[in-house]
Structure 1
């Protein structure tokens, strides 16, 4: 089921979304200050490519991670989280879209607090 879900995900928008996260990571990484934020974009892009069979764990991010997450949320995290929540709500309208909506909820959690989050294979 995981393989089929990931293939359907890629066909119906996952590849384009991952490319968007990758380009965002490249743009943010143009400045030295933005490199840590770019790395988080790359982490999210990897999850967007194959979200089925993976789990997001928000761990202990320490003081530096807290400040980085705070800056992330203020600048762009809340918008990205909102976009994934809207996508999840839209997909959850149909029964066949519910598994994809759950993946968007997973991405919303990661796009809100990426620093200190770990992606684990189930």
Structure 2
């Protein structure tokens, strides 16, 4: 099911949102000092192309530099990318079949606002909330 949703997402809005992230990443790479933001932007572009089956968790080891970087990102690019996700999510929610796609778009708003200190992981992986490994019982 997640493959079908990913393909529909890719065709309807994934490409456009990924292009937005890629443009932000290219601008960050051109400005040289903002290369860490560019890396985060390209990572989010990848997530925006194929979001179903993946989720975002916060790294517990992210420090003060990621906080400062997130504040700068929020002012420069984050607010615009978040608005793009909100507009896309509202447009998707206009149809019954688009509701899961709209929810996925809303789910990307926090990472578009504060990308540094976030990690995109597969929902099938053994990473729990906060990026802490989950201990599975050995049966």
Fold similarity call, TM over 0.5:
yes
Runs of 4+ in 1 over 2 A off after TM superposition: 58-61
Contact persistence 2:20–2:81 (CA under 8 A)? no
Equivalent position of 1:80 in the other structure: 81
Tell me the C-alpha RMSD between the 2 structures.
1.4
In the alignment, does 2:68 pair up with 1:67?
yes
**C-alpha distance in 2 between matches for 1:77 and 1:16:** 16
TM-fit CA distance, 1:53: 0.6
Q: TM-score when scaled to structure 2?
A: 0.80
Deviation by residue 1:7-40 (Cα, 9 ceiling, x = unmatched): 1111223123223322331222012212011111
Contact persistence 1:88–1:104 (CA under 8 A)? yes
Equivalent position of 1:112 in the other structure: 113
Task: List alignment gaps of at least 5 residues for structure 1.
Answer: none
**C-alpha distance in 2 between matches for 1:59 and 1:85:** 25
**C-alpha distance in 1 between matches for 2:92 and 2:77:** 23
Equivalent position of 1:21 in the other structure: 21
Deviation by residue 1:58-85 (Cα, 9 ceiling, x = unmatched): 3332100000001111222122112211
Task: Report which of the two has the higher share of helix.
Answer: 1
**C-alpha distance in 1 between matches for 2:21 and 2:73:** 14
In our comparison, the structure showing a higher alpha carbon Rg is 2
Which segment is superposed worse, 13-22 or 97-106? Answer: 13-22
Task: List alignment gaps of at least 5 residues for structure 2.
Answer: 124-139
Count of matched residue pairs: 122
